[in-house]
Amino acid sequence: MKPLSAGTTPGADGEDEDEDEFPVGPGLPAGSGNYLTLTGYARLQSELEQLVRGERPALVQTVSWAAGNGDRSENGDYIYGKRRLREIDRRIRYLMKRLENAVVVDPAQQENLNQVYFAATVSIADADGTVGSYQLVGVDEADAAAGCISWISPLAQALMKAHVGDVVRFQSPAGIREVEVLAIRYQ
């Protein structure tokens, strides 16, 4: 439940509370932990810190100033500020829950370096010879353009527990693909 300041009611400014600038993020498989690398955990903590200590207090000050300017129904600063405050509060709750349920994995602590597990960086080759390298990361830190794929993605699931030289099959948007594991690194 989000906190309300004195004299306000939910939806009093007539705005739709379902609008969201911050995505709440992908869901996790039932019964699984929210696995994160050390880098991903630090990134989420940093975002939470910035919202709680920086952006939210500044916005509360702006909304308070705008509320003191009179008619709130036509006050753009007040209406936008309240909407943005709801978005920030929603994102803060989301981040707190994700960090609270986080299972942080340090790739440097991996003992079995010959198999693919969470946080591994895997070099693969397609049947046509295309080579790529991907790190298996948490759902909150996935960024395919940067070579970080979620551990629940079809490719990551196919790679789990594979060894160098194994050929794995997975369902991609383009159909069934086969890739060969060229190298496994934990860094």
Can you say how many angstroms the Cα of residue 47 is from the centroid of all Cα atoms in its chain?
A: 11
Eight-state DSSP code of residue 14: -
Instruction: Give me 65's structure tokens.
Output: 């100033």
Mean pLDDT of 165-172: 94
pLDDT at 34: 87
Quote the CA–CA distance of 170 and 134 in Å, as a whole number: 15
Cα–Cα separations (whole angstroms), residue 90 to 84, 86, 171: 10, 6, 34
pLDDT at 30: 67
Quote the CA–CA distance of 99 and 53 in Å, as a whole number: 17
CA proximity to 136, closest of 42, 39, 48, 23: 39
Question: In this prediction, what percent of the chain has a pLDDT beyond 70?
Answer: 84
- State the chain's mean pLDDT as an integer: 85
Question: In this prediction, what percent of the chain has a pLDDT beyond 90?
Answer: 63
Quote the CA–CA distance of 38 and 180 in Å, as a whole number: 28
Burial zone of 152 (CB within 10 Å; 0-12 exposed, 13-18 middle, 19+ buried): middle
| Residue carrying structure tokens 């829950």 | 97
pLDDT in tens, 18-38: 444 455 556 777 667 789 999
Same CATH fold, 106-185 and 34-104?
A: no
34-104, CATH topology level: Helix Hairpins (1.10.287)
Quote the CA–CA distance of 138 and 76 in Å, as a whole number: 39
pLDDT at 74: 76
The model's pTM is: 0.75
CATH numeric code, 106-185: 3.10.50.30
pLDDT in tens, 94-103: 999 999 989 9
pLDDT in tens, 120-160: 999 999 988 899 999 999 999 999 999 999 999 999 999 99
What are the residue boundaries of the structural domains of the chain, listed by start?
Answer: 34-104, 106-185
Say if residue 1's pLDDT is above 80. Answer: no
